[in-house]
Amino acid sequence: MAESTPRLIVLDGHAMNPGDLNWAPLQALVQCEIHPRTAAEKVVGVCATATAVLTNKVVLDASTLNALPALRYIGVTATGVNVIDLAAASARGITVTNVPAYSTQSVAQATFAHILNLTQRTARHAVSVREGHWAQCPDFSYSLTPQIELAGKTIGLLGLGNIGLAVANIAAAFGMRVLASTPSKVGTTVDGIPVIPLADLLPQSDIISLHCPLAANNHQLINANVLAQLKAGAFLINTSRGPLLDEAAVADALISGQLGGAGLDVLSAEPPPQDCPLYRAPNCFISPHNAWATRESRQRLIDVAVANFATFLSGTPQNVVSMPVQPRS
């Protein structure tokens, strides 16, 4: 970078670090201004003299980038980079980096938190006991919901990247049969997992779990037609991207019983509107997009984000997703 005193703005640092982690390694690198959140209409003003920004969910589109002539670097503090207009960034001489694979184990763990909630409803039973129902029960044991054993059940994974493979390993430890569907690998075996067409996977799966990135060709991948092909009463898990689901169709499938339950960590709009159709659906358990947010995962995220920026400053950037068409002086 040509600037003698680069200036970095963190646009939305609260989700990554609500106060339990340390920004000092980043602050040691550069003059740094950390905002917990930044409203869209304030981005240009906040970043007017910034040479670098870190963003997680704050959108930096072409018009915003065109209004920030000093900007040389964008560090996305996530794996997905859909919040950045990469073509505009490249044309303006801005390097963009991301943070891959920082949350693999945390998201895999959260996937099974949803699966175990659907199969055993431990929290519901704990509330029942606290309310005195066990004390009043004539038997030593009771169940408010079916208790379902995972051993021998089939889990169908849509996507077989880092997180999908981590989920597969946990499923195997539970004694589950694992199948996968990912278009580029159909007909192959990955780490012993058969990769088959989606139409073959759906009727065989007791649980469907999504672990694929959002792309133009898979928006609302899980729709009424797909849901109708599932084994009746199957469970749906989505810790990937909200727009992969047709949420109205999922709600209808839960109401009809075609779906036995859903565990969702992501929705198509976040925060969701009050009229989200999933609110009216039975056996639908929604967590607030925090599968990634263990302390350990967030620490890895900060560590890699700092390293990304440090390598950019040194002239050898890592985890680059977009490079300038022409280096800026």
| SS3 assignment, position 304 | helix
Give the neighbor-by-neighbor strand order of the sheet with 284-286.
177-181, 154-158, 207-210, 234-238, 259-264, 284-286
Q: 225 and 112 share a domain? A: yes
Q: 144 and 63 share a domain? A: no
Q: Which residues contact 49 (CB under 8 A, 6 or more apart)?
A: 7, 70
Res 3: pLDDT: 46
Please count the other Cβ atoms lying within 10 Å of the Cβ belonging to residue 189: 10
- Which residue range(s) make up the domain with 22? 7-102+294-322
Res 2: pLDDT: 42
Q: What is the pTM of this model?
A: 0.91
Q: Is position 2 within any domain?
A: no
219 labelled catalytic: no
Hey, CA dihedral for 309, 310, 311, 314, is it positive or negative?
Answer: positive
Amino acid identity at 324? P
Flag residues of the chain having pLDDT under 50: 1-3, 329
The single residue of 72, 121, 241, 298 carrying the catalytic annotation is: 241
Q: Is position 271 within any domain?
A: yes
Q: Confirm if 313 and 30 have CB atoms less than 8 A apart.
A: yes
Q: 94 and 223 share a domain? A: no
Q: 108 and 98 share a domain? A: no
The single residue of 270, 280, 295, 296 carrying the catalytic annotation is: 270
289 labelled catalytic: yes
Q: Is position 328 within any domain?
A: no
Amino acid identity at 218? N
Q: What confidence tens digit (pLDDT) does each residue in 29-52 have?
A: 999 999 999 999 999 999 999 999
Q: 83 and 129 share a domain? A: no
Q: 164 and 264 share a domain? A: yes
80, with CB counted inside 10 A (0-12, 13-18, 19+), is middle
Q: 14 and 147 share a domain? A: no
Q: Is the bond leading into 277 cis (omega within 30 degrees of zero)?
A: no
270 labelled catalytic: yes
The single residue of 72, 114, 121, 289 carrying the catalytic annotation is: 289
Q: What confidence tens digit (pLDDT) does each residue in 60-108 have?
A: 999 999 999 999 999 999 998 989 999 999 999 999 999 999 999 999 9
Q: Is position 329 within any domain?
A: no
Number of domains in the chain: 2
Res 327: pLDDT: 52
Q: 257 and 111 share a domain? A: yes
Q: 88 and 110 share a domain? A: no
- Domain with residue 92: its CATH number is 3.40.50.720
Q: 23 and 162 share a domain? A: no
SS (H, E, C) 69-104: CCCCEEEECCCCCCCECHHHHHHCCCEEECCCCCCH
